[in-house]
Amino acid sequence: MTRRGKISPEQAGLPRFGARRRVPGLRRDEVALLAGISIEYYTRLERGDASGVSDDVLDGLFRALQLDDVERAHLIDLVRIANARPVRRRSTPEHVRPSVQRLLDSMTGTAAFVRNGRLDILSANQLGYALYSPAFLDPGRPVNLARFVFLDRRSKDFYADWEGIAQAGAGSLRAEAGRNPYDRALTELVGELSMLSEDFRVRWAAHDVKYYRTGVQPFHHPVVGDLSLNYDALELPADPGQTIVAYTAEPGSPSEQALGLLASSTVANGPTKGEPGTGSAQRAGSMLEAEPKTSPSAVSGPGSRPRA
């Protein structure tokens, strides 16, 4: 469904005439009216001809379509691309700088990793590997969070809010496609997911764009059971496209105790540093085999559960 299909005339402050419409949402002429442009011009824009679009026209579309900051940035990206000469850049391996790795390793008590815009995990600290150990069980390829969500059935057990995570993953890739439309690796990833996952196809077709910078994420971990963690996504300006994602627990909460138990299991299984690969997959597998699953009650006492 297009963006205008998600806005009713009442939401846009327009009168509704007639009992039923053939399609949901706003018609093209209504969007054009709200944006202050002709219907012919709006139709041309919707069909992808965005050459020479002015800031005033964009502002009108922002208002008419009720776009949030992320959606506005995405539309600006699309207009920029429409007015630029297509250049497909060859995908190159991405590495985390040593100083960034040291920063990750210094974050004791915090699970953290670095990802790129395609949702590849480029590196992590010990607790980051331990938290996401189910995603590191396939040594055949680098870890990609979108592949894990849509192609690995274990993700539905791991993510307590799988639906929300799936929506976030597809929305993040859609936003990245607007920023980097000629990224060959991204194109291949979207093609792979579209071929193999109906769940992804449905969400990709919705054209939702989202950035998730902070929030609370519940997990059902195979070693320590249920825990609910705060996450913060911190972009690295010196490394465009790279983002640190850090997970912390509320002080004194059952989740803090569960995270501490998980941290102790990483010490028992040896350090995990550097970029994801076969070694991290082997360590993840050994940890899952060596450590029994611990329920929240065993961590925090009878009757206690972390909040979702």
Q: What is the pLDDT of residues 152-192, one digit of tens each?
A: 999 999 999 999 999 999 999 998 988 888 889 999 999 99
Between residues 57 and 274, which one has the greater pLDDT? Answer: 57
> pTM here?
0.70
| Residue intervals in the chain for CATH 3.30.450.180 | 98-300
pLDDT at 297 over 50: no
Mean pLDDT of all residues in the chain?
81
CA distances from 288 to 132, 228, 250 (A): 11, 20, 25
What per-residue confidence (pLDDT) applies to 244? Answer: 97
| Structural fold of domain 98-300 | Beta-Lactamase (3.30.450)
Query: What gap in Å lies between CA 191 and CA 70, rounded to an integer?
Result: 24
Structure tokens at 2: 């297009």
Q: Which residues pair with 216 in a beta bridge?
A: 230
Alpha helices in the chain (DSSP H): 28-35, 39-46, 55-65, 69-82, 98-106, 126-131, 145-151, 154-158, 162-179, 184-196, 198-205, 254-268, 278-290, 296-300
209 band by pLDDT with thresholds 50, 70 and 90: confident
Lowest mean pLDDT among 24-38, 50-64, 87-101, 234-248: 87-101
Instruction: Tell me the percentage of the chain whose pLDDT exceeds 90.
Output: 45
Read off the pLDDT band of 300 (50, 70, 90). Answer: very low
Sign of the CA dihedral running 85, 90, 91, 96: negative
Q: What is the pLDDT of residue 1?
A: 47
